[in-house]
Amino acid sequence: MLPDLSTTDSRRPVARTALVAVIGAMAVAALGGTGTELGAWYQSLVQPSWKPPDTWFGPAWTLIFGLTAWAGTRVWVRADGPVARRRILGAFGLNGALNVLWSWIFFRWRSPDWALAEVVLLWLSIVLLIRVSARIDRFAAVLLAPYLGWVTFAATINVAVVRLNPTA
């Protein structure tokens, strides 16, 4: 259940908000994970020599999702009304959908070129998250910086995969 948008009480329970944020982050991770197949097709792709091992991606995303939930909790409890909370939900919802979609496009639908186009939207949605968060809580915006950095790095891997595998 999502936190109540109609309340303006500044004493909203932080624990409940944090729980909702963690569940949301876990849902995005799980949905993205269901689209991620590291099978024969993925293994056949030529990867850039500088790409980290696949085993690094799980811990990196776990940290990023944790920081994102923390940032979401901070901005939600500090938001000054229903309009601000709708913006927060919209920004986080859009970002979560784009995050999941990238995994499905790249891994499940085996379209690195379309994933490259989509990662631009994902990247922009993180910039939006940072901007929306910074208006409410600057530290929350800082918590989202590793997410932007990681997606920027992942996008460079995506570019390299497209270049190294023109028929993929």
Domain positions in the chain are 14-164
For residue 1, what pLDDT band results from cuts at 50, 70 and 90?
A: very low
134 vs 30: CA distance, rounded Å: 27
Max Cα–Cα distance, the chain, nearest Å: 56
Mean of pLDDT over the chain: 93
Section 99-109 average pLDDT: 98
Residue 158 reports pLDDT greater than 90: yes
111 vs 105: CA distance, rounded Å: 6
More confident residue, 14 or 115: 115
More confident residue, 167 or 30: 30
Candidate CATH numbers 1.10.3720.10, 1.20.1260.100, 3.40.50.720, 3.40.50.10790; the one for domain 14-164: 1.20.1260.100
167 alpha carbon, distance to own chain's centre: 28
For residue 168, what pLDDT band results from cuts at 50, 70 and 90?
A: confident
Section 4-27 average pLDDT: 76
The pLDDT of residue 24 is 97
The pLDDT of residue 7 is 44
Q: pTM here?
A: 0.90
3-class DSSP assignment, residue 65:
helix
Q: What is the H or E stretch that residue 33 is in?
A: helix 14-35
Count the neighbouring beta carbons within 10 Å of the beta carbon of residue 83: 10
Over the stretch 79-91, which tens digit does the pLDDT of each residue have?
Answer: 999 999 999 999 9
Amino acid at 120: V
98 alpha carbon, distance to own chain's centre: 7
22 vs 36: CA distance, rounded Å: 21
Section 21-44 average pLDDT: 96
